[in-house]
Amino acid sequence: MADSLFVDITTPNGRQYQQPTGLFINNEFRPSSSGQTIVSLDPATDKPIATVHAATAEDVDAAVQAAKAALSHSTWKLLPATERGQLMGRLADLMEENRELFAAIDAWDNGKPYQVALTEDLTEAITTIRYYSGWADKTFGQTISTTPQKFAYTIRQPIGVVGQIIPWNYPLSMATWKLGPALACGNTVVIKAAEQTPLSILVLATLIKKAGFPPGVVNIINGYGKEAGAALVQHPLVDKIAFTGSTATAREIMKMAAGTLKNITLETGGKSPLIVYPDADLEQAVKWSHFGIMSNKGEICTATSRIFVHRSILTTFLEKFKEAIETTSKIGDQWDENTYQGPQVTRAQYERVLAYIETAKQEGATLVTGGKPYTPKDEKNAKGYFIEPTVFTDVTDDMRICKEEVFGPVVVILPFDSEEESVRRANDTTYGLGAAVFTTDLERAHRVAADIEAGMVWINSSQDCDPRIPFGGVKQSGIGRELGEAGLEAYSQVKAVHVNMGSRL
Ligand code: NAD
């Protein structure tokens, strides 16, 4: 039982703060109606960080009712769009002021290195809110002439109450990807964080109130997917669901959303290919392909986890890839400045990754390096969820390690002989999120980028992501786009108003 709505916490890197633990509804924290809780664990030490309240269906209803009331309340509905943008700008400023605190919480809760959280996650989170603050007063309709007597105009309106469900791999920045466009378009929101990383979003809640958002505009809850998540998806007053997480859960969400024919946006998993052609700059290809799967401990939906290398350069590429692991992938806890790879987010995720490694061995893949838990040197991290960066070769396209998303520091490296073969095999997947192409042949780069079935393609790079650029998948990697101008589509709808000026004729 979380016995208080705030607890005093000192992070391992010495930051003292008050961690809210309640459900943020109508700009106030409240306890869960049933008293049920979620315990957040430090993945490096397996020790609890804090216990937070977990929402029941009744609590979800309270949050949705608050969002519904705020939608039609004049303080939000009649707020000029420019002022809506200013509120968001203020929120971005407050996040900036708390950058170090947010980075410490997300590093602690998720297991990523503090420096990465500070410089990458927080930059992305703050920039996303700032970027969308600028869009708030720039979403216009059109005027369309039809006959001399008639014309029509369109207005772009919010969708209404938006339910948002986020994962644990980039806790705060995933929240901002969802909140930014939803608020810019004038919706109200109930957002549910992942049970693995419940903490930073509650601190964000305090800043939402401080920035001046009216009560009920942003409601933030923690809760279990099958209970709170499902209640949100099925709630009749929720007009839209935006989800990021596994393809299996997305499938459940689609089914549940069908009951009320809800608008949905889904960003799910991937098994993204990275293709290295013989004319590629090999140093660059190795650098980015290592980053594309080993950064963030491989817990990246767009991880380039299938590396196709032209047979003529396979041996050299493999040697250099192993070297990159040895020189770069230093494993350690979140607070060691040298750490590149922290612990997996939870014991469940750690066991899932290790199980995939065992399956790959049983299926006959050759283990090149890694393939087992990593034992940290520091005694305090002895129970941490660390896994060695792992590379498999001699993998066939039908092996599970080549088909299924592992979501860990595990990669398969596959030879190919022709461009046609590389594209055909890269596309031989139910997923279609990211893809990377390494070549110095300009024509080939753009030809392959066009032919690959993916929502995003990187030429001579991997994992580039920017709030201005649309993000999303094709096939079973998702529906709809986040970020960029395209992200506004997911949170606004067009109304056509027909005008008849012909009454005097
Ligand atoms: P998940 O899909 O179970 O959880 C993601 C979010 O959905 C969480 O907030 C969770 O509470 C919620 N949820 C779960 N079941 C729900 C339901 N029935 N109704 C409504 N909401 C529900 O993902 P996970 O278990 O955290 O991770 C499992 C796998 O998902 C990973 O191994 C990885 O393959 C994938 N994943 C993908 C991403 C991504 O960015 N695309 C992020 C995290 C995990």
Q: Which position among 267, 299, 388, 405 bears the catalytic label?
A: 267
Q: Give the residues across from 267 on adjacent strands.
A: 244, 478
Does residue 3 surpass a pLDDT of 70?
Answer: no
Mean pLDDT score across all residues of the chain: 97
What's the distance, Cα to Cα, between the start and end of the chain in Å? 73
Cβ-contact 31, 2 below 8 angstroms: yes
How many angstroms is it from 464 CA to the middle of ligand 1?
A: 23
Judged by DSSP in three states, 204 sits in helix
Query: Rounded to 5 degrees, what are φ and ψ at 370?
Result: 80, -140
Choose among 131, 174, 135, 176: nearest CA to 158.
135
Does residue 194 line the site of ligand 1, with CB under 6 A? yes
How many angstroms is it from 207 CA to the middle of ligand 1?
A: 26
161-188 tens-digit pLDDT: 999 999 999 999 999 999 999 999 999 9
Q: Is the dihedral of CA 58, 173, 274, 374 positive or negative?
A: negative
Q: In sequence order, which residues have a C-beta less than 8 Å from that of residue 90 and are 6 or more positions away?
A: 211, 212
- As given in the structure block, the two tokens for residue 277 are 């052609």
Query: Rounded to 5 degrees, what are φ and ψ at 160?
Result: 135, -125
Strands 150-158 and 492-500: antiparallel
- As given in the structure block, the two tokens for residue 387 are 């896994």
How many angstroms is it from 210 CA to the middle of ligand 1?
A: 30
pLDDT value at residue 504: 66
Choose among 67, 91, 38: nearest CA to 223.
38
Does residue 224 surpass a pLDDT of 50?
Answer: yes
Q: In sequence order, which residues have a C-beta less than 8 Å from that of residue 241 and are 6 or more positions away?
A: 162, 163, 164, 165, 232, 233, 253, 257, 262, 263, 264, 265
Choose among 280, 285, 278: nearest CA to 311.
278
Cβ-contact 44, 1 below 8 angstroms: no
Average of per-residue pLDDT across 489-502: 96
- As given in the structure block, the two tokens for residue 455 are 């929502």
Strands 273-276 and 306-310: parallel
Looking at the chain, the whole-number percentage of residues with pLDDT higher than 90 is 98
Average of per-residue pLDDT across 456-463: 98
Beta strands (DSSP E) in 270-402 are 273-276, 306-310, 366-369, 390-393
Query: Rounded to 5 degrees, what are φ and ψ at 347?
Result: -65, -40
Judged by DSSP in three states, 28 sits in strand
Ligand 1 atom closest to the CA of 196, numbered from 1: 26
Cβ-contact 269, 247 below 8 angstroms: yes
What stretch of H or E contains 61?
A: helix 57-72
381-434 tens-digit pLDDT: 999 999 999 999 999 999 999 999 999 999 999 999 999 999 999 999 999 999
CA angle, corner 419, sides to 413 and 424, nearest 5?
A: 75
Which domains, and CATH codes, for the chain?
6-143+158-269 (3.40.605.10), 273-466 (3.40.309.10)
How many angstroms is it from 12 CA to the middle of ligand 1?
A: 28
Does residue 14 surpass a pLDDT of 60?
Answer: yes
Please give the Cα distance from 291 to 285 (Å, whole number). Answer: 10
252 is catalytic: no
CA-nearest residue for atom 35, ligand 1, is 246
pLDDT band at 503 (very low <50, low <70, confident <90, very high): confident
Does residue 188 line the site of ligand 1, with CB under 6 A? no
Cβ-contact 204, 172 below 8 angstroms: yes
Cβ-contact 303, 292 below 8 angstroms: yes
Choose among 87, 190, 165, 102: nearest CA to 133.
87
Does residue 1 surpass a pLDDT of 50?
Answer: no
pLDDT value at residue 505: 56
239-290 tens-digit pLDDT: 999 999 999 999 999 999 999 999 999 999 999 999 999 999 999 999 999 9
Beta strands (DSSP E) in 240-361 are 240-244, 263-267, 273-276, 306-310
Does residue 59 line the site of ligand 1, with CB under 6 A? no
Does residue 482 line the site of ligand 1, with CB under 6 A? no
